[in-house]
Amino acid sequence: MAKTFTIFLTTAPYTHENTLTAVRVAESALGKGHRVNLIASGDGVYCFLKGQKAKGIPHAGDLFAGLIARGLKVYL
C-alpha cells in the first residue's frame, strides 16, 4: 500500500550528510511507489538554489532536480 513519506530538511546542502540521506530516502520511497514530500526549512532551502557548483560531495541541486522529475514534491 502506498504511504506518504515527509522529509523535513533543515540543514545547508554541503555541511551535513543529511543531504545524501534525504536523497536516498526519497529515491527509494519513490521507487517503491510511495508519495514523498520534502519540506525545506531554515538553511535547508539552500539545497534548492539554482547554479550550484559542487565537487567531491553529493550535488544537492542536481540530485533533487532529478527526484522532482520523478515526483518528489518540495515545499520551501
Partner 1 sequence: MRLSVILTRPPYGDVQAAEAVRHALGAIGEDMEVRLILCDAGVMVAKKGQSEGDTGYTNLGESLKDVIEMGGDVIADRGSVREFGLEPEDVIEGVRIVNGYELSEAVKESDRTMIF
Partner 2 sequence: MLTIIKSGPDTSEGRRALKLARDMSSDIVLLQNGVYFALREQLDGFCGTACAVEEDVNLRGLREEELERGLKLIDWDELIELMAEEEEKVVGAF
Residues forming contacts to partner 1 in the complex (CB under 8 A) are 14-17, 20, 56-59, 63
Could you give phi then psi for residue 40, rounded to 5 degrees? -95, 125
Of 12, 25, 39, 65, the one binding partner 2 (CB under 8 A) is: 25
Candidate ranges 25-33, 43-51, 53-61, 65-73; the one touching partner 2 (CB under 8 A) = 25-33
Rounded to whole angstroms, what are the CA distances from 66 to 1, 3, 8, 69, 73?
A: 24, 21, 18, 5, 12
Helix (H/G/I), strand (E/B), else coil: 19: helix
Q: Considering the rule CB under 8 A, would residue 34 count as an interface residue with partner 2?
A: yes
Of 6, 15, 21, 41, the one binding partner 2 (CB under 8 A) is: 21
